[in-house]
Amino acid sequence: MDPHAIVLSPRVSEKGMAHVEDRNQYTFAVARGANKIEIARAVAALFKVKVVRVRTMNMRGKSRRIGWIRGKKPAWKKAVVKLAEGERIDLF
């Protein structure tokens, strides 16, 4: 698969930025069918860094309601990528 099709977007949050500073871990929204090996190769190719570990989580879509109409946001997959010591991504 194309690396751009695997890594969809970075997830920036207060907790995620604390992990960047303390643990050198970055969070991404990734394709639901991608596995850890594909994610590690895609991040390494896109950002020219060395990936040490990848953790993945399937995030459940949340229910939303606007007036009488009920709906559901789509489910997505999150990947937490740990980089080698001294490596960083300047995207954040």
Stronger pLDDT, 91 or 22, i.e. the higher one:
22
- Domains assigned to the chain: 3-83 (3.30.70.330)
41-81: per-residue pLDDT in tens?
999 999 999 999 999 999 999 999 999 999 999 999 999 99
The dihedral built from the CA positions of residue 15, 32, 9 and 40, taken in this order, carries a sign that is positive
83-to-5, 65, 75 alpha-carbon distances in Å: 21, 39, 26
